[in-house]
Structure 1
Amino acid sequence: MNDISIEYLKEALEYAPDTGVIRWKQRPKIHFKTENSWRTTNANFAGKVAGARDSDGYLRIGICGRLYRSHRVAWALHYGYWPDKEIDHISGDRGDNRIDNLRSVTSAANSKNLRLYSTNKTGIPGVGWYKARGKWRAKINVSGKVKHIGYFDDFREAVKARKAAEMQLQYHKNHGTRDRLTF
């Protein structure tokens, strides 16, 4: 990935780790091809919040002709290097870029901290009614494959089995919670 340099990023943007807000700085002339574009850009953007929300709920910042997800920019500004893994929003709020809400994780670890899908009918991920057997079925994702946990007469027993599997497989405590996004 051809990311812009951290030095360039720090000349253009400032990051407040306690709030997660990224703002445009008064940018130097060397960032622009013409003096007019330098003056206009600084007059219109310096001091303002950088980025806009995309259709997935992430904040994106356009710089040097490319869009960057704000959580990756926040990470780069705070730590001084571009993340080599995925950045997980621990709370599930894709707009919350406070540094204590961000963690660098593998794709597998990130998938263990997903919000509850809107199509879920039981309120518990991996637990659903299995009509063919007339029982509750519990399942879980292990390394990209669905693992069957079991069939249960009682919904609570299916939930208990699913939660035990989540603990054993080190799912994040926020995995499968509702209403974590604020967009």
Structure 2
Amino acid sequence: MANGFQGRCAPKPLPAAEILSSYFSYDPLTGIIVWKPQAGKNQRWNTQFAGQEAGCIAPNGYKQIRLNGEGLRYHRVAWALLHRDCPTDVWIDHANGDPLDNRASNLRLASRSENARNAKRRDGCRLPRGVKRHHRGVKFEAQIRTSPGKRIFLGLFDTPDAAHIAYRAAAIKYHGEFARFD
């Protein structure tokens, strides 16, 4: 696809920043978005919601805000409020890997592969990132993915820790600021 996303991975376009800023205010130091009072809403709504943090934690672990029946990703709304725009052709990455930390200093633009490099590992992984047991079962293999479909073999090692050291060096070289080691 022209915008770099495939299938369901593409983020939905947000309402214009002017519309979002009429509903919400964003504190870039805390990462919190709060509802603004609404002139067209009844007093009960303003009493209950105005000044309160918007959104809730969705099952996927990210915060989400419902606006006019539409689910919006909290970090994308934060980006739009901060920068007055939220591009749909790139990802908004949480630099520290915490999807609940929406401070401006923790949000950055990323490609799909950069965002994936910074993803946390699934539970149940016993070996360090970038390490797997070699098919003969005695040594440990280190490898790194540098682009979709391209892996670089980094060597065979006697211990998982030695293999992980090789992975860490390669991750810094190939992934830069998006390198993640845990």
Is the counterpart of residue 135 in structure 1 residue 146 in structure 2?
Answer: no
Which is further off, 63-72 or 124-133? 124-133
Aligned match of 1:62 in 38, 41, 66?
Answer: 66
Larger radius of gyration: 1
Change (3 A) 1:5 1:28: farther
Aligned match of 2:46 in 42, 47, 61?
Answer: 42
Which is further off, 162-171 or 143-152? 143-152
**CA separation in 1, counterparts of 2:55 and 2:179?**
27
For residue 37 of structure 2, what is the amino acid of its counterpart?
Answer: Q
User: Does structure 2 conserve the Cα–Cα contact (< 8 Å) formed by 1:114 and 1:176?
Assistant: no
**Could you report, residue by residue, the CA deviation over 1:49-94 in whole angstroms, capped at 9, with x for unpaired residues?**
1000011111000002211111000000111111331111111110
**Other-structure match for 2:22:** 11
Q: Percent identity?
A: 32
For residue 114 of structure 1, what is the amino acid of its counterpart?
Answer: A
Cα distance, 1:2 vs. partner? 4.4
User: Does structure 1 conserve the Cα–Cα contact (< 8 Å) formed by 2:146 and 2:175?
Assistant: no
* Structure 1 stretches lacking a partner, 5+ long: 30-36, 178-183
Aligned match of 1:165 in 164, 170, 174?
Answer: 170
* Structure 2 stretches lacking a partner, 5+ long: 1-11
Change (3 A) 1:134 1:61: same
Which is further off, 135-144 or 15-24? 135-144
Cα distance, 1:28 vs. partner? 2.8
Which is further off, 149-158 or 71-80? 149-158
TM score, norm. by length of structure 2: 0.84
**CA separation in 1, counterparts of 2:129 and 2:59?**
24
TM score, norm. by length of structure 1: 0.83
User: Does structure 2 conserve the Cα–Cα contact (< 8 Å) formed by 1:91 and 1:174?
Assistant: no
User: Does structure 1 conserve the Cα–Cα contact (< 8 Å) formed by 2:94 and 2:101?
Assistant: yes
For residue 69 of structure 1, what is the amino acid of its counterpart?
Answer: R
